[in-house]
Structure 1
Amino acid sequence: MISAVKETGKDKLFLAFNYIYVLLAFIIVAYPVVYMISASISDPKLVGSGEMWLLPKGITFEGYERVFQNKSIWTGYGNTILYTVVGTAINLFVTLPAAYALSRKDFAGRNFFMGMFMVTMFFGGGLVPSYLLIKELGMVNTIWAIVIPSAASIWNIIVARTFFQSSIPKELQEAAQIDGCSNIRLFMKIILPLSMPIIAVMALFYGVGNWNSYFSALIYLNDAAKYPLQLVLRQILVLQEMSAQGGGAIDASTASALNSKAEIAALVKYSVIIVATAPIIAVYPFLQRYFVQGVMIGSVKG
């Protein structure tokens, strides 16, 4: 019978330190989320004065009412969903075949192509040449300017390639080829069904990136009807800041009106933040185990 290992005083002290550290890290991470939720349903005057610092006070749902009544926000929501779905589909269509090809030892020149891919992680053409290229291709102010330039992430290709190398038996591929299976059929019928974990990881990585992306839309889109939700949120933040600054010499009634607009804008800002992040927060728990697995794939073997 094996006796239990007795913890020393140093072990208990180390364990207590770990619990305290994890608790502090949880508070640091959770407080902004709780504050945003509370601020979105609290009286904006109490939020602005600092009286509301954790739990909601003066509960009001005016911010959410204004959000749901704002057509531009719903338009941005629809655009973001469209960009995320189309962009993620293109990302997977490009990343998975490229990663599988680079994982095959019988692929001639794979080291050369991998080296060329790696170069793009360190060097880029810059913003102006990129814009000129998109303009010459006729993609300015279209969905393709959002989804095509970011069609593949080299880091994600490396992670997916590592999965194929470490998780798909070489003997399985050889047996399929002996039976007369072509490379395309091998990839579609055998490799992909066995690669659902990495597919879920890549879909999560790309999906979150596409959902939160706004810089490409800021550069390439001119029509407000095509703005994603993140860009609509940015406009709300800018307008809220301008309303808060006000103007020069103004009377009391004008100052009161500007202050009221600033408070409403702040309330709407917090509500939009919650509405914008809610889908990702809702989906993440279901894909968390795949997310952790993807991180481990990239860290154990490269």
Structure 2
Amino acid sequence: MKMKQSVGEKTFDYLNVLFMIILIIVTLYPFLYVLFSSVSDPGLLAKNRGILYMPLGFTLKAYELVFSNSMVMVGYMNTLFYVVVGTTINIFLTSLGAYALSRRNAMLVKPIMMMIIFTMFFSGGLIPTYLLIGELGMMDTRWALIIPNAMSVWNLIIMRTSFKAIPVSLEESARMDGANDFTILFKIILPLSLPVIAVMVLFYGVGHWNSYFNAMIYLRDRELFPLQLILREILITNSTDNFISGVGGGDRYPVGETVKYATIMVATLPILFLYPFLQKYFVKGVMIGSVKE
């Protein structure tokens, strides 16, 4: 039997809905503004000083200029390399570390975890890290963006917690059948931890996709630049000349503005399309630690 709500409860529900609608609008509108601006006519957009509710004279000219620029495509390919290779290394090393530290009979687990957690609060610093990268011969190479970030302590803790929640009886049964640690990890632990692994893939993948600071410090060769560093050059240094070299003088500024918006969309949409496919695993990830023997 459904209980009848009081006037106060109904008012509270309506206010909650109103608040959520306002929050959604405030959160979503900046994205829509960039989207509408990227497909608007440059001349009309330059004259507009108000809120955009729709594109002003629909055109894909800005996207044509973006994709005709070779550096954008180079940045795309580099970013895909960093995301795929970097995330693969991240998941592999994090899984190995989490498995070793989740074993109940392993030695010195607590001291090792304390040393690992210590690095979350105190790092070596930017200058020592820069010198170390140079001494290791990784300066101005792709590996400078992958090896130093090969493992996240926070993600290691999350995966370790997931592994510890798996009943130990499964491991004991496997060992009775002659399985070693690698067999247990890759045949039992990882298949049972797919929701957590999917979340880790998303965390690491988004981190690599959005990374630009390390590239700005360690890379000098523009052929190795990720997409986000190219986007930064366009937005911060206002370097859209390479995109609009064939545009007349009076039209260069408005076209340059739409190119900025189009580049933002090109750099944002791929990672947005990935979220819906992995979102369901966040719900399953909430159940970490709920399995009991």
TM over 0.5: yes
| Residue deviations 1:79-111 (CA, integer Å, cap 9, x gap) | 000111010011001111111222221111111
The 3 A distance-change label for structure 1 pair 230 and 106 is same
The 3 A distance-change label for structure 1 pair 242 and 185 is closer
Aligned to 1:251: none
Aligned to 1:268: 259
Aligned to 1:240: 238
Q: Which amino acid is 1:275 matched to?
A: V
Aligned pairs for 1:59-208 (under 5 A) are: 59-166=58-165, 168-208=166-206
Q: Which amino acid is 1:157 matched to?
A: L
Structure 2 contact 95–159 (Cα < 8 Å) conserved: yes
Among 19, 22, 27, the residue aligned to 2:20: 22
Q: Which amino acid is 1:147 matched to?
A: I
Structure 2 contact 234–240 (Cα < 8 Å) conserved: no
Aligned to 2:245: none
Structure 1 residue matching 2:238: 3-state secondary structure: helix
Inter-partner Cα distance in structure 2 for 1:114 and 1:27: 43
Report sequence identity in percent: 48
Aligned pairs for 1:278-289 (under 5 A) are: 278-289=269-280
User: How far is the alpha carbon of 1:41 from its aligned partner?
Assistant: 0.5
The 3 A distance-change label for structure 1 pair 179 and 294 is same
Inter-partner Cα distance in structure 1 for 2:189 and 2:239: 52
Aligned to 1:50: 49
Structure 1 contact 44–264 (Cα < 8 Å) conserved: yes
Structure 1 unpaired stretches of 5+? 244-256
TM-score by length of 1: 0.88
The 3 A distance-change label for structure 1 pair 125 and 283 is same
1:34 maps to 2:32:
yes
Inter-partner Cα distance in structure 2 for 1:87 and 1:183: 24
TM-score by length of 2: 0.91
Structure 2 contact 215–226 (Cα < 8 Å) conserved: yes
Q: Which amino acid is 1:115 matched to?
A: M
Inter-partner Cα distance in structure 1 for 2:11 and 2:160: 42
Structure 1 contact 101–107 (Cα < 8 Å) conserved: yes
Inter-partner Cα distance in structure 2 for 1:112 and 1:15: 50
Structure 1 contact 79–229 (Cα < 8 Å) conserved: yes
1:226 maps to 2:217:
no
CA-atom RMSD in angstroms: 2.0
Structure 2 residue matching 1:149: 3-state secondary structure: helix
Inter-partner Cα distance in structure 2 for 1:101 and 1:259: 64
Structure 2 unpaired stretches of 5+? 242-247
Q: Which amino acid is 2:36 matched to?
A: S
Structure 2 residue matching 1:145: 3-state secondary structure: helix
Larger deviation, residues 219-228 vs 191-200: 191-200
User: How far is the alpha carbon of 1:77 from its aligned partner?
Assistant: 0.5
Structure 2 contact 233–239 (Cα < 8 Å) conserved: no
| Residue deviations 1:86-141 (CA, integer Å, cap 9, x gap) | 10011001111111222221111111111111101100111111100000000001
Inter-partner Cα distance in structure 1 for 2:107 and 2:120: 23
1:213 maps to 2:204:
no
User: How far is the alpha carbon of 1:282 from its aligned partner?
Assistant: 1.1
Q: Which amino acid is 1:135 matched to?
A: G
Aligned to 2:244: none
Structure 2 residue matching 1:120: 3-state secondary structure: helix
